Amino acid sequence: MNIGSETEQIEFKKSTGELNEGIVSIAAILNKHQSGELYFGVKNDGTVLGQEIGDSTLRTVSQSIRNHIRPMIYPEIMMKDYNGSKVVYVKFSGTRCPYTAFNIARIRVADEDVVMDQETYEDMMRKRDNISGYSWESQVSKYQLEDVNEEALQAYLRKAQEANRITFEYTDKKSVLGTLGLLEGDYLLNAGVALFCECGLNELQMAKFATNERLTFTDIRRFTGSIMTLKDKAEQYVIDAMDWKAEITGLSRKEIPEVPVAAVREAIINSFGHKLFEAGQANEVAVYRDRIEIYSPGEFPKNHSPESFVKENIAPIRRNALITRTLYYSQDMEAFATGLKRIQNLCDEAGCKVEFKTVQGGFVVCFYRKTEEASLAKVDNRVHDRVHDEVHVDEYDDTLNVEENILKFCTIARSRAEIIEFCGLKSRAQFATRYLMPLIESNKLAMTIPDKPKSKNQKYLTI
């Protein structure tokens, strides 16, 4: 069987034995076209050879891409079947050129991957470093005024007026967004979409884990929406998860959280304001027995450490200048590189340990909880009141949302046990009939070993 020819955006490799060469091609294609496709198990002329695809094949491809391409990308990886011949299919995209593979930048020319010349590399770096007109947030989106959450926009303006940072009155969406510099004609810039549109541009994932490790969770929720909506959901989730103690002085009672709420609020808004939107990753809130972590996609500024922003007076480094400026007007965020310092000071005053972590592809603010012993001594009723048989999504559970989460989770081959644990399902007996088989029968999910449905090595992939 023949599936076509190689092009500047399509690359064929005979097998994953040529994985490193394939990774080089991905980076070269991204630098030329910002998107492309790669097939393992296909000859250069398009003839499908097929290859053995084991339990770890797709995972190995995913990990190799993640480890050797910079900036990091998050491709779609799956198995495809051509008349019984299995191939590994990789679909990728990215706009943060230049990309390097194994620390070398190349660019696609016809069907070759040529080492990039210095002038082209430097030009791409200037564009990536947010020189005016090139930043992601300043690009015109497909969203229009009708997509704006007007209630959130009005609430924002009131807050900015109360902070005395905006003086004009609300008239209509177009006037306000135009004045804020978030509009071009009737179309929003990406910054405006991120701030005020309830679409899938922003994703927030929140979870509570049963222990101090990222293993078994007792609650998981996912939301999409505007920064203005998601920041409040994230803050409330942490407030509900924390333990509080009461201090009584005379006739007055004061509730004190184990982690300062103002510090949590600062960490959450910073995680949205400074995130790398192009990465396509979700912001995360993770509640463990001993700590609470706020994760933001996007590596920390090069040649700087979090400690330097806490201890020194460093000029602000703005990944998203339009977004942070807009949040500054409403006093949600300060624009002078003082966020980490405020978090540290608030935690010091409250006697709460905080740690700033740079991790691969992102940044984490970690608050250590004061009441770990009390939390371990009891099963928090507030958690168990919310635990149902399915994953929590958008504040309610139904079959459709569980299926959607399974499909998202299975972009990499997963076992039945992994899917059940991910979804937090109690009833294993109903899992196959209620979720698994309907997805397979509707051709949304495929078995990696279709001729042996009951194989102990069986896994499932999103089609």
CA distance 275 to 298: 5
Residue type, 251: L
Which residues are CB-neighbours of 232 under 8 A, at least 6 positions away? Answer: none
Please report, for residues 60, 299, 364, 367, the alpha-carbon distance to residue 357 in angstroms, rounded to integers and kept in the order given: 26, 10, 5, 11
Task: Say what the pLDDT of residue 197 is.
Answer: 96
CA distance 184 to 46: 44
CA distance 430 to 416: 12
Task: Say what the pLDDT of residue 337 is.
Answer: 60
Task: Say what the pLDDT of residue 370 is.
Answer: 79
Please report, for residues 28, 54, 79, 435, 449, the alpha-carbon distance to residue 454 in angstroms, rounded to integers and kept in the order given: 41, 16, 19, 16, 9
Contact 300, 340 (CB under 8 A): no
Task: Say what the pLDDT of residue 245 is.
Answer: 83
Contact 280, 412 (CB under 8 A): no
pLDDT tens over the chain, length 463 residues: 999 999 999 999 999 999 999 999 999 999 999 999 999 999 999 999 999 998 899 999 999 999 999 998 989 999 999 999 999 999 999 888 999 999 999 999 887 899 998 878 877 887 776 554 457 888 899 999 999 999 999 999 999 999 999 999 999 999 999 999 999 999 999 999 999 999 988 999 999 998 998 888 889 999 999 999 999 999 999 999 999 887 777 667 788 899 999 999 999 999 999 998 887 889 999 999 999 999 999 888 776 788 888 887 776 677 888 999 999 999 998 766 678 999 999 999 999 999 999 887 889 999 999 754 444 434 343 433 333 333 343 333 445 577 888 888 888 888 888 888 777 776 666 778 788 888 888 888 888 888 788 888 888 888 8
Task: Say what the pLDDT of residue 336 is.
Answer: 61
0.85 cut: is pTM over it?
no
Task: Say what the pLDDT of residue 396 is.
Answer: 34
Closest by Cα among 40, 54, 17, 55 to 87: 40
Instruction: Compute, in degrees rounded to 10, the torsion defined by CA atoms 132, 138, 141, 147.
Output: -160
Task: Say what the pLDDT of residue 395 is.
Answer: 35
Q: Residue 431, Cβ neighbours under 10 Å: how many?
A: 19
The tokens of 320 are what?
């998203």
Task: Say what the pLDDT of residue 422 is.
Answer: 79
* Separation of CA 52 from chain center: 31
Task: Say what the pLDDT of residue 427 is.
Answer: 62
Which H helix or E strand runs over 235? helix 227-241
Task: Say what the pLDDT of residue 379 is.
Answer: 39
CA distance 11 to 102: 18
**Can you tell me whether residue 305 is helix, strand or coil?**
coil
CA distance 431 to 416: 9
CA distance 280 to 268: 18
Task: Say what the pLDDT of residue 132 is.
Answer: 45
Task: Say what the pLDDT of residue 287 is.
Answer: 95
CA distance 20 to 68: 9
Which residues are CB-neighbours of 291 under 8 A, at least 6 positions away? Answer: 212, 366, 367, 368, 369
Task: Say what the pLDDT of residue 426 is.
Answer: 62
